[in-house]
């Protein structure tokens, strides 16, 4: 019968469609696995040659094939922590401002648009602006302070990086604060608490693991930022001695040297840096997400 064949055909199409959907899911898993394995295989030579010393040696000298990544770990950590400590108070302020004080109205849309704009400006433009506007200011500040006036360096990149991650961390903190149930806020206010007390004594304690997760995720974001930092950090492969020193982060050393690296081992060492970067960012975002998920489920 025609109808039977038609149904059989339809059922086959349905099955194929569902399989194709599942296959698409598998492709994503394959992609992430592929990225990991590619980095691993390309980094193998460096791992074999330098071994664990890669992680703690202090000298990065491609000419003598001496590859120690410690300066970049230190550079990454200092830059990101500095950027985060600048941006977090502002992010929290914005999250509270938009989540508790100015929930709607024209000011709320001004600030939301501003945050969208900050998030939308490409990294390269932040770097460009930093180089031409911020660096001269930092340079004169440095000479006033009596430090070597490089202008470029950890300090300049941290400031720009801080501005860049404000929209991201503000939006996470806002989301976390919005998950605090309205009734416990009201309960606190009805007992006579001032908004300040409500925020510091009710909302923050309630949301603290969510906020912690947000900080972790912002940190992951900060260390993976490439272009602005590459342009502003001063491209130095020595361990930084102060927050004004030029340095390199994991991302910036790759951006600076990958295209010119011609030796196998040199390339492989740079890929190993990428592998570390991949691991660390994946770990931070994963741990952050797990904490938030657990926090939401627990409450």
Partner 1 sequence: MKKETCILDIKKFNLHINEHHILKNLDLPFYRKKVTAIMGPSGCGKSTLVRSINRLNDAIPGVKMSGNMFLYKKNLLEMNPMLVRRKVGMVFQRPNPFPTMSIYENVLAGYTLNGLKLDKTEKESIVADSLEKAALWDEVKDNLHRKGTFLSGGQQQRLCIARALAMNPKILLLDEPTSALDPKSTARIEELIIELKSKVSIIMVTHNMGQAARISDYTAFLYLGELIEYDSTEVMFDSPKHSRTKDYLKRKFG
Partner 2 sequence: MINTRSVEARLIKNIVFKSLVFSMSFIVLIPLFFILFYIVKNGISAFSLDFFLNLPKPVGEIGGGISNAIVGTLLLIVISSSIAIPFGIFIGLYLAENKVGLLPELTRLCVDTLQGVPSIVMGIIAYAWIVIPMGSFSVLSGGIALSLMMLPIVVKSTEETMSLIPESLKEAAFALGAPYYTTMIKVVIPSSKKGILSGVLLGIARVSGETAPLLFTAFGSPFMNTDILKPANSLPLLIFNYATSPYDDWQSLAWGASLVLVLFILSLSILAKVVIKK
Q: Which of residues 70-109 bind partner 2 (CB under 8 A)?
A: 89-90, 93-94, 96-98, 101
Select 78 or 152, whichever has its Cβ closest to partner 2.
Answer: 152
* Residue 105 contacts which entry, partner 1, partner 2, none (Cβ below 5-8 A, type-dependent): none
Residue 61's beta-bridge partner residues?
66
- Name the one range near partner 2 by CB under 8 A: 56-64, 67-75, 112-120, 203-211: 112-120
Q: Taking a C-beta distance cutoff of 8 angstroms, is the pair 214, 173 a contact?
A: yes
Residue 272: other Cβ atoms inside 10 A: 24
* Residue 3 contacts which entry, partner 2, partner 1, none (Cβ below 5-8 A, type-dependent): partner 1
Residues numbered 1 to 20 that lie near partner 2 (CB under 8 A) are 10-11, 13-14, 16-18, 20
- Minimum CB separation of residue 146 from partner 2 in Å reads 26
Burial class (CB in 10 A: 0-12, 13-18, 19+), 176: buried
CA distance 15 to 109: 47
Q: Does 40 bind partner 2 (CB under 8 A)?
A: no
Query: Which residues of the shown chain bind partner 1 in the complex (CB under 8 A)?
Result: 3, 7, 10-11
CA distance 245 to 234: 8
* Residue 229 contacts which entry, partner 1, partner 2, none (Cβ below 5-8 A, type-dependent): none
- H or E, element range at 275: helix 264-298
CA atoms within 13 A on the CB side of 236: 18
Residues numbered 229 to 248 that lie near partner 2 (CB under 8 A) are 230-231
CA distance 112 to 131: 27
Residue of the chain from 8, 27, 140, 264 that contacts partner 2 (CB under 8 A): 27
* Residue 285 contacts which entry, partner 1, partner 2, none (Cβ below 5-8 A, type-dependent): partner 2
Residue of the chain from 1, 52, 63, 259 that contacts partner 2 (CB under 8 A): 259
Residue of the chain from 22, 51, 136, 181 that contacts partner 2 (CB under 8 A): 22
Q: Where are the beta strands (DSSP E) in the chain?
A: 60-61, 66-67
Select 11 or 65, whichever has its Cβ closest to partner 1.
Answer: 11
- Minimum CB separation of residue 9 from partner 2 in Å reads 10
Residue 60's beta-bridge partner residues?
67
CA distance 255 to 263: 16
Residues numbered 121 to 150 that lie near partner 2 (CB under 8 A) are 121-129, 131-133
Q: Is the dihedral of CA 203, 208, 209, 214 positive or negative?
A: positive
């Amino acid at each position: 019968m025609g109808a039977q064949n038609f149904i059989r055909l339809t059922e086959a199409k349905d099955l194929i469609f569902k399989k194709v959907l599942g296959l698409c899911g598998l492709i994503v898993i394959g992609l992430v696995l592929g990225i990991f394995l590619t980095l691993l295989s390309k980094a193998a030579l460096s791992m074999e040659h330098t071994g664990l010393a890669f992680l703690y040696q202090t000298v990065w000298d491609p000419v003598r094939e001496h590859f120690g990544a410690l300066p970049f770990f230190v550079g990454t950590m200092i830059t990101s922590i500095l950027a985060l400590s600048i941006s977090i108070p502002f992010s929290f302020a914005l999250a509270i401002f938009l989540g508790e004080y100015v929930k709607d109205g024209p000011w709320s849309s001004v600030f939301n648009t501003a945050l969208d704009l900050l998030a939308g400006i490409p990294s390269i433009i932040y770097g460009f602006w930093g180089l031409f506007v911020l660096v001269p200011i930092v340079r004169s500040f440095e000479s006033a302070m009596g430090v070597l006036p490089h202008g470029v360096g950890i300090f300049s990149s941290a400031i720009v990086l801080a501005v860049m991650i404000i929209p991201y961390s503000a939006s996470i903190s806002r989301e976390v604060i919005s998950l605090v149930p309205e009734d416990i806020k009201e309960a606190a206010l009805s007992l006579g608490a001032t908004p300040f007390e409500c925020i510091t004594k009710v909302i923050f304690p309630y949301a603290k693991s969510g906020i912690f997760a947000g900080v972790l995720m912002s940190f992951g974001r900060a260390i993976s930022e490439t272009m602005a930092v590459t342009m502003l950090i001063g491209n130095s492969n020595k361990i930084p001695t102060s927050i004004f020193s030029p340095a390199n982060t994991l991302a910036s050393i790759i951006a600076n040297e990958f295209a010119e690296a011609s030796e196998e081992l040199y390339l492989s060492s740079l890929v190993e840096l990428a592998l570390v970067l991949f691991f660390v960012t994946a770990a931070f975002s994963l741990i952050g997400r797990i904490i938030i998920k657990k926090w939401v489920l627990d409450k």
